[in-house]
Structure 1
Amino acid sequence: MTSSKSSSTYLVDNFIVEFDRALRSVVGSTPMRRAVPAPAHLSEATSETSLTEAEKKHAAGLMRINHVGEVCAQALYQSQKLHAKSDDLKEKLDHAALEEEDHLAWCAHRLEELNASPSVFNPLWYAGSFVLGSLAGLAGDKVSLGFVAETEKQVEHHLDGHLQELPTNDYKSRAIVDQMRTDEIAHGHMAIQEGGAELPQFIKKSMKIMSKVMTSTAYRL
């Protein structure tokens, strides 16, 4: 009886924690465990006034896309963790999700500095990603890890593009994106090392198509 109560209590507590994390991800109140990455030199950090209005608008659009990506990452990791069979995998997914929370908070902070708002469709992005993560998780740990690896590979490519597109003097955004890229690569390597399966080409292409829809919409809204 005691064991049954303990199990039920654990499930309820876990649900509350995960629901709180989901709500914070969508409404933009995610805690920041690591400080916002800063430009390498003080002169770079104080160069904000050199950005034109057009450059700020473009940077804001790109950082809004990154913010949406991190909202999706929270949904993916939460749903995949929910269906993970291995406790070790759950722990690794949770660790990655916590780092992604920092990314989410950093992007939100940068958007605020640029006088811009997150995507109005964040609840939709979160819901869709949660479904995708659940499908990957239900397919088994190896497929779930393969999904993580491919997602992070595409995110790395996407961030490489942003480092090329961001205004050359937007050092604050660049510092954030650069650290995000480093973390995403580490998450992808983790998934491969843990035995992630190679996904079929049609799934990879479908992921790219969905990503394009998301980025083109989030840039403006």
Structure 2
Amino acid sequence: MDERQETPNGAAHRAPLRRDAERNRERIIAAACQLYAEHGLGVGFNEVAHRAGVGVGTVYRRFADRRELLQAALAEPLQELYAVARAAAATPRAWDGLTLLVTGVTDLLVENIGLRDAALGGYEDLVPQVTGGIPELLDGLFERAREQGDVREGVDGHDVLVMLWMVTELAKHAADVRPDAYRRYTTALLDGLRASSSRAPLPDPLHDDEVAAISRRWADASSRARTP
């Protein structure tokens, strides 16, 4: 039974769910959260239904499509991501903010592959406002860090995005061997952004469209890896 009803002006809205239906919805969201975190965004409704202990028809009744389930499952992880970003923006010294942002976000993305793919992979079509203004915040941190003399010439937010892909991908492959290995390389890569008179000049930076294309391919590859 579809709980959507017509309002007096003709607009559809979702009627309050029965208690058992609401419990099913919560179980589906919890299952989706777990599966996306473990395997990325390539998880299908059948897998979610199996993990939640419900029939796949129940998943389709509660969620019209993949987009609706993704938004529900990623809502809380995204809030955690935004909280780290807000704390980073509030630091008096921009370099401290960059360090907090990169290390804090890396930890969150390592724990949740689906969050990583959504946040870095250009999935705004599925999860609107997925980045929550973080790119603008990052640009502001770099601008302040340049004024304060703390970052090397030529680095920008695109470099951080690629760094996050690199260290989170390492974390996936090192999880069973050395779960914290990614932190060593996060530190090393961050140090490479810092100003120093002995630094060699950087090659040309990536353009917006190049970063977007690389990120989407990386996220798509992560999702395809889930397909048998």
Please state which band the TM-score falls in when normalised by the shorter chain. under 0.3
Larger radius of gyration: 2
| Structure richer in helix, relative to its length | 1
TM-score of the superposition, structure 2-length normalised?
0.27
